[in-house]
Structure 1
Amino acid sequence: MIGKDDRILGVEQLAKFFGVTDQTIWRWCKAGKIPAFKIGAQWKIRQSDLNKIINQKLTKREQDKHLQPLF
Structure 2
Amino acid sequence: MQELLTPQEAANLLKVHLRTVYIYLRSGELPAAKVGDNWRIRPSDLEKFIEKRMVKDTKK
| TM-score (normalised: structure 1) | 0.67
Aligned equivalent of 1:46, options 21, 42, 47: 42
Q: Matched residues in 2 for 1:54 and 1:23: separation?
A: 17
Gaps of 5+ in 2: none
The structure with the largest alpha-carbon Rg is: 1
Q: CA RMSD in A?
A: 1.8
Gaps of 5+ in 1: none
* Larger helix proportion of the pair: 1
Q: Does residue 28 of the first structure (1) align with residue 19 of the second (2)?
A: no
Give the CA deviation at 1:31: 1.0
- SS of 1:8's equivalent in the other structure is coil
* Larger strand proportion of the pair: 1
Q: Percent identity?
A: 28
Moved over 3 A (4+): none
| TM-score (normalised: structure 2) | 0.76
Aligned length: 60
